Structure 1
Amino acid sequence: MLEVDKILEKCGDFSRLQMIMLLLFCVINVLSALHYYSQTIISFVPKYWCADGLPASIESPVDSSCLPLNRNISTPNTCYSYNYELYMGYQSFPSEMDWVCADAWKLTLGQSMFFVGSVVGSMVLGYLADVVGRLPILIVANLIAMTGNLLTIWSTNVTLFCMFRMISGIATDSNFVMMYILVMEYMRPSVRTLGLSICIGFFYCLGSMAAPWIAVLMRSWRGFLLTTSLPLLVVPFFYLIVPESIQWLISKQKYDSAVVCLKRVAKINGRHVEESAYAEFIEECKCSQQNQKASPHLLDLFQTPRLRRHTLILFFKSMVITLCYDAVSRNVQGLGISPFVMFSLSATAILPACLLIIALQDRIGRKAMASASLLLSGIFISVTGGIIFAASASDKTTTLLVSLSVVGRFGVTVAYNSGAQYATELIPTCVRGQGVAAVHVAGYAFTFFSAYILFTRSVFSPLPEIILGVLSLLGACLCLLLPETLHRTLPTSLEDGENFGKNDRWYTFSFLEGRTQSAATLDTQNAKMYSQSTESAVYF
């Protein structure tokens, strides 16, 4: 809303309140990273072997084994108890519950239910955010995350584990996105990308890198969940500082509440704003809302051919990116290195990925960024799978695998973070809120399969990398069919969306477009000069 940007400029759009909100957003980044990756941390499977008939002091085998070690013809193939070689003394959920071998499906099912909760939570909490406001849902989502994690501590069977992980998953996305929206709306447009990306890059990276070492310090999955869940109690206190979304209040015609929030912003920022300015703001909002027509529905995106194609590609791209991002983030075992060390090394890709987006996205364009990042991650993930299959376990091979895995994570992170902005710009304004939410939910729905893709390692060791690599390469190819949005007037209506980028080809990129236009301009100037000189020669 232009009216909101104008009044915020008077109340302060990059001052003391915005600095406080950015600081609180940093806290949310750390807490949401710990919550999201709790699913991975509690599910680490250490090396295991059958303990039936073996003395406790026996030396562990080289690889994990589901069958009795001292087998003979009379020995049954079924194992009833297991020994574990715990990573740094950390007791994970599967090692405590013996959810390995024949019972490994229980852990995979529980992990999948976490993402079922994510889909349900994104839709329900997203709808409620439009009904009761962004700030209450931010608080509720984080309290749900805390409740789900604390209940998981009391899981004693697969039913309770699935139920409590689903509750925990309900908070995923809303516990972060609501604060992202609030900070974005209260900041000056020219500093939004820089401020938000730096907060995400540094502090989400910090939370991700710290997660496994908190688990090591606590020495058990219960201690980890307790330690990472209790800090979520600080989020309700955000209500005392963070104002509600002005745009949401205006959309609900809660003008008095909007003015109260604006006065609070002005007070914290030390600005004095005349009452007449608030009255003028409210009148402009009322006039703008009177001229608005009924908003189109989400399904209208599928009514026309080009808009339908772009929407379906955005859906598929979101599915691929979200699936690869989650699977690559959690794929820290089977690479010949401690999963705790691998997890932290992999998380280091988050910060440079955000910095790269800041540096390049507004230079080379959204299309080039999305395609190149997916292509890069697909190549390196696939090569990692090939090396796992072909190479022997040596120090050099391990170093190479770790390096390729980190580069793959880097590419997926770039694609994931830049993809959200691409979808937001490409979907017409009239259905942007519904469309972006639907794209996001589709991504989380597809993440349901990430645990099963990682489970295929038990069938064929490089299979997870092969599947993720192929999906990334397919996503990179489909991104080439989308139009560029950089430096263009974004679509407002459905008709604009249908005609947007109509002359673009798969090889049309923003950075090449600029060179082409410059060359065309030079050719035109030369042609004019030649024409003028010719006319002068004829005249004389």
Structure 2
Amino acid sequence: MSSETCKDFDRAMVFLGDYGRFQIQIMVLLSLTAIPCGYMGVLAVFVADTPAHRCRTWLNSTLRDPHGVDSFHGTGPDSCYRYKVDTNRSEPGEPSNGTDRCVDGWLFSTERYTIVSEWELVCENAWKVPFSTSMFFVGVLFGSLVGGQLSDRFGRKRVLFFSIALQSVTTLIQATSVNWVMFCALNCLRGVGHVSTYISSLVLGSEMLCESARITYSLLGQCLAFSIGYALLPLFAYFIRGWRLLLVACAIPGLLFIPTWRVIPESPRWLLQRGRVKEADMVMRQAAKMNRIQASEIMFSPGEGSELLQKPSEDKQMYTFMDLISTANLRNITGLGVFIWLTIIMVFYGLSLNTSNLKGNIYLNCLISAATDTVANVSTWLLINRVPRPALLFFTLMFSGITLLVVKIVPGDMNTTFQVLVLVGKLGVSVAYSFTFVFFTELYPTVVRNTGLGILSTAGCIGTIVCPYVIYIGIYSKILPYIIFGSVSIIAAILSLLLPDTRNCKIPDLISETKPIQCYCTPKKCPCLQPSKQQAAKSDATAPSVDI
């Protein structure tokens, strides 16, 4: 296959077809890695849930309700205070006037055993609950920052399997936590493995598939598997009421995936970009063999890797974060992507983690929330090739934002209407969440794709670190978290209209192939439509000379 007939990697892969045995195997195996990611990010819903609790008093031995929690008789008006008891009275148990702090600790409902009930993280220590959740997302932040860079340097496959092992082993060790500090430290480390697993798996599969298969893999593979993992969490938690055993059960599926190392190949795009042409040739030949297709005698010539993925002006072997701001197009896409990802991921995880605060059964609420994500993924798959990418992102975010703001006018006694609006609002942001991974994977070129997605994921992690505290505001104002989530969703929807449409376009490989953002102004006054100095010089050099 000569460089004249093969000008980019997408054309080089055409002979493999779209949905051969090789592509299906890649989609299935890599999608399975997203199942643990689906529940790892929202484990706090059950592991850090606050059960019903009452002050511990000297009456505990005689006054208990069927759930093992003190009767209101002899305790205070809320879970942080108790009535003062006059021990000099002839009839014990009669409260005197005034209240007192829970100096003897608390008794918790035995319906669920969480870190809150084990380490009494209530009242003065209640801040430790959202803090422990934020520590997980601090780990996600760090993993996003370094995971993409490591993946671009050492390979998608190596980082993927290292991240899977890190996530699973850390979760097992976390189940043995002896105190809250140890739990938070391991929560942070678990977050590093969580995000690196998801992004590396998404990029690895996307780079080995053509456009139609890539969209199917991202939405019906990765995102749907993520939703399935999310739906498994309430099922696990329903039968496993102790948080330690729940962590062990959640760690095992990841460990079962490690033996697939021999089956999943490295990304041939990345191998070519690194100049490892023989290894890329071997991957393509194995794919052709699995699809029962006769490969040409020479898949890639020794110098074709650079011709496919690298031009003389882009001859450096290492790309860094600075390359994301090296051109106006990449700067614009990265700047818009940072705010859009921060908003989408903050709202998505904020509404997901808040399911425990909705009225009704916590297990059913979580299952419905997961089912909402499944509907969102299927809807995105049906719409993604029928609607321009920026328009789809705009309408889903605008729909979510308006719905969450409407919650403000719902009367306080209409709990069912309130829950329906929240879940419908989550449907909109769930579509945006699953779609944005596909969209920005297509926007970034191969040489900085993982680094770019890592930066955007890092921005999203800032939102997830903040969202537990936004939810915590709900203690004082039930509506305020939804006003915040709805407002930022509308702003992100408006900004998304500036992004270029990648529908029916080949995935870019070089920085110079990055698309410009859309400008709603006249061409003469729009800076993003003006040619760069390099492009202008190239045009002058290639322009035909005219003799006078």
Q: TM-score, normalised by structure 1?
A: 0.83
Distance verdict in 2 for CA 1:63–1:452, change over 3 Å: farther
Residue 285 of structure 1, aligned match among 285, 305, 313: 305
Aligned: 1:164 with 2:181: no
- TM-superposed CA distance for 1:325, in Å, is 0.8
- TM-superposed CA distance for 1:24, in Å, is 1.3
Specify the alignment match of 1:470 in structure 2: 487
**C-alpha RMSD over aligned residues:** 3.0
- TM-superposed CA distance for 1:321, in Å, is 0.8
5 Å-filtered alignment, 1:422-461, equals 422-426=439-443, 432-461=449-478
Specify the alignment match of 2:249 in structure 1: 227
Please list the CA deviations of residues 404-438 of structure 1 after superposition, one character each: whole Å capped at 9, or x if unmatched.
Answer: 12111111111212223343445577755533331
Specify the alignment match of 1:266 in structure 2: 288
Residue 400 of structure 2, aligned match among 373, 377, 400: 377
Aligned: 1:58 with 2:80: no
Aligned: 1:153 with 2:175: yes
Specify the alignment match of 1:364 in structure 2: 387
| Structure with more of its chain in helix, by fraction | 1
Specify the alignment match of 2:10 in structure 1: 5
- TM-superposed CA distance for 1:239, in Å, is 0.9
Specify the alignment match of 2:43 in structure 1: 38
User: How many Å separate the matches in 1 of 2:506 and 2:28?
Assistant: 33
User: How many Å separate the matches in 2 of 1:307 and 1:141?
Assistant: 28
Query: Does structure 2 conserve the Cα–Cα contact (< 8 Å) formed by 1:148 and 1:164?
Result: yes
Distance verdict in 2 for CA 1:283–1:11, change over 3 Å: farther
Secondary structure in structure 2 of the residue aligned to 1:343: helix
Distance verdict in 2 for CA 1:459–1:38, change over 3 Å: same
Query: Does structure 2 conserve the Cα–Cα contact (< 8 Å) formed by 1:325 and 1:412?
Result: yes
Specify the alignment match of 1:409 in structure 2: 426
Specify the alignment match of 1:23 in structure 2: 28
User: How many Å separate the matches in 2 of 1:343 and 1:129?
Assistant: 33
Secondary structure in structure 1 of the residue aligned to 2:298: helix
User: How many Å separate the matches in 2 of 1:503 and 1:379?
Assistant: 24
Amino acid at match of 1:151: I
Residue 236 of structure 1, aligned match among 258, 267, 272: 258
Specify the alignment match of 1:520 in structure 2: none
Aligned: 1:419 with 2:436: yes
Specify the alignment match of 2:228 in structure 1: 206
Query: Does structure 1 conserve the Cα–Cα contact (< 8 Å) formed by 2:108 and 2:117?
Result: yes
Query: Does structure 2 conserve the Cα–Cα contact (< 8 Å) formed by 1:198 and 1:354?
Result: yes
Please list the CA deviations of residues 447-478 of structure 1 after superposition, one character each: whole Å capped at 9, or x if unmatched.
Answer: 11111111112222322222212222222233
5 Å-filtered alignment, 1:45-84, equals 45-55=50-60, 57-59=63-65, 60=71, 65-69=79-83, 72-73=96-97, 75-84=99-108
Amino acid at match of 2:174: T
- Larger mean CA deviation between 287-296 and 103-112 belongs to 287-296
User: How many Å separate the matches in 2 of 1:340 and 1:6?
Assistant: 48
Secondary structure in structure 1 of the residue aligned to 2:200: helix
Amino acid at match of 1:209: A
User: How many Å separate the matches in 1 of 2:303 and 2:511?
Assistant: 28
Please list the CA deviations of residues 177-218 of structure 1 after superposition, one character each: whole Å capped at 9, or x if unmatched.
Answer: 222222222223233212431123543222211201201212
Amino acid at match of 2:105: S
Q: TM-score, normalised by structure 2?
A: 0.81
Specify the alignment match of 1:338 in structure 2: 361
Residue 391 of structure 1, aligned match among 383, 391, 412: 412
5 Å-filtered alignment, 1:445-524, equals 445-482=462-499, 484-486=501-503, 500-503=517-520
5 Å-filtered alignment, 1:119-158, equals 119-158=141-180
- Larger mean CA deviation between 223-232 and 203-212 belongs to 203-212
Specify the alignment match of 1:175 in structure 2: 197
Specify the alignment match of 1:535 in structure 2: none
- TM-superposed CA distance for 1:116, in Å, is 0.9
Distance verdict in 2 for CA 1:492–1:227, change over 3 Å: closer
Amino acid at match of 2:252: L
Distance verdict in 2 for CA 1:273–1:474, change over 3 Å: closer
Q: Gapped runs of 5+ residues in structure 2?
A: 1-5, 66-70, 85-94, 523-548
Specify the alignment match of 2:350 in structure 1: 327
Distance verdict in 2 for CA 1:257–1:121, change over 3 Å: same
Distance verdict in 2 for CA 1:297–1:472, change over 3 Å: same
User: How many Å separate the matches in 2 of 1:235 and 1:257?
Assistant: 24
Please list the CA deviations of residues 119-162 of structure 1 after superposition, one character each: whole Å capped at 9, or x if unmatched.
Answer: 11122222221222111111110111112211211222232121
User: How many Å separate the matches in 1 of 2:355 and 2:220?
Assistant: 26
Query: Does structure 2 conserve the Cα–Cα contact (< 8 Å) formed by 1:67 and 1:77?
Result: yes
User: How many Å separate the matches in 1 of 2:119 and 2:409?
Assistant: 33
Query: Does structure 1 conserve the Cα–Cα contact (< 8 Å) formed by 2:350 and 2:467?
Result: yes
Q: Gapped runs of 5+ residues in structure 1?
A: 506-540
Specify the alignment match of 2:133 in structure 1: 111
Please list the CA deviations of residues 251-280 of structure 1 after superposition, one character each: whole Å capped at 9, or x if unmatched.
Answer: 111222222222322333333324x232x4
Query: Does structure 1 conserve the Cα–Cα contact (< 8 Å) formed by 2:148 and 2:196?
Result: yes
Please list the CA deviations of residues 301-340 of structure 1 after superposition, one character each: whole Å capped at 9, or x if unmatched.
Answer: 6578887555433211111111111111111133211221
Amino acid at match of 1:381: L
- Larger mean CA deviation between 361-370 and 77-86 belongs to 77-86
User: How many Å separate the matches in 2 of 1:346 and 1:169?
Assistant: 22
Alignment: residue pair count? 495
Distance verdict in 2 for CA 1:236–1:310, change over 3 Å: closer
Query: Does structure 2 conserve the Cα–Cα contact (< 8 Å) formed by 1:342 and 1:402?
Result: no
Amino acid at match of 1:83: L
Query: Does structure 2 conserve the Cα–Cα contact (< 8 Å) formed by 1:12 and 1:266?
Result: no
Amino acid at match of 2:166: I
- TM-superposed CA distance for 1:503, in Å, is 4.1
Distance verdict in 2 for CA 1:290–1:112, change over 3 Å: closer
Distance verdict in 2 for CA 1:140–1:283, change over 3 Å: same
User: How many Å separate the matches in 2 of 1:277 and 1:144?
Assistant: 39
Amino acid at match of 1:328: L
Query: Does structure 2 conserve the Cα–Cα contact (< 8 Å) formed by 1:318 and 1:443?
Result: yes
Query: Does structure 2 conserve the Cα–Cα contact (< 8 Å) formed by 1:114 and 1:165?
Result: yes
Q: Percent identity?
A: 25
Distance verdict in 2 for CA 1:119–1:12, change over 3 Å: same
Secondary structure in structure 1 of the residue aligned to 2:170: helix
- TM-superposed CA distance for 1:113, in Å, is 1.0
Query: Does structure 2 conserve the Cα–Cα contact (< 8 Å) formed by 1:346 and 1:405?
Result: no
- TM-superposed CA distance for 1:11, in Å, is 4.8
Distance verdict in 2 for CA 1:64–1:135, change over 3 Å: farther
Specify the alignment match of 2:538 in structure 1: none
Query: Does structure 2 conserve the Cα–Cα contact (< 8 Å) formed by 1:483 and 1:504?
Result: no
Query: Does structure 2 conserve the Cα–Cα contact (< 8 Å) formed by 1:122 and 1:172?
Result: no
Amino acid at match of 1:53: W
Amino acid at match of 1:42: V
Amino acid at match of 2:108: Y
Amino acid at match of 1:116: V
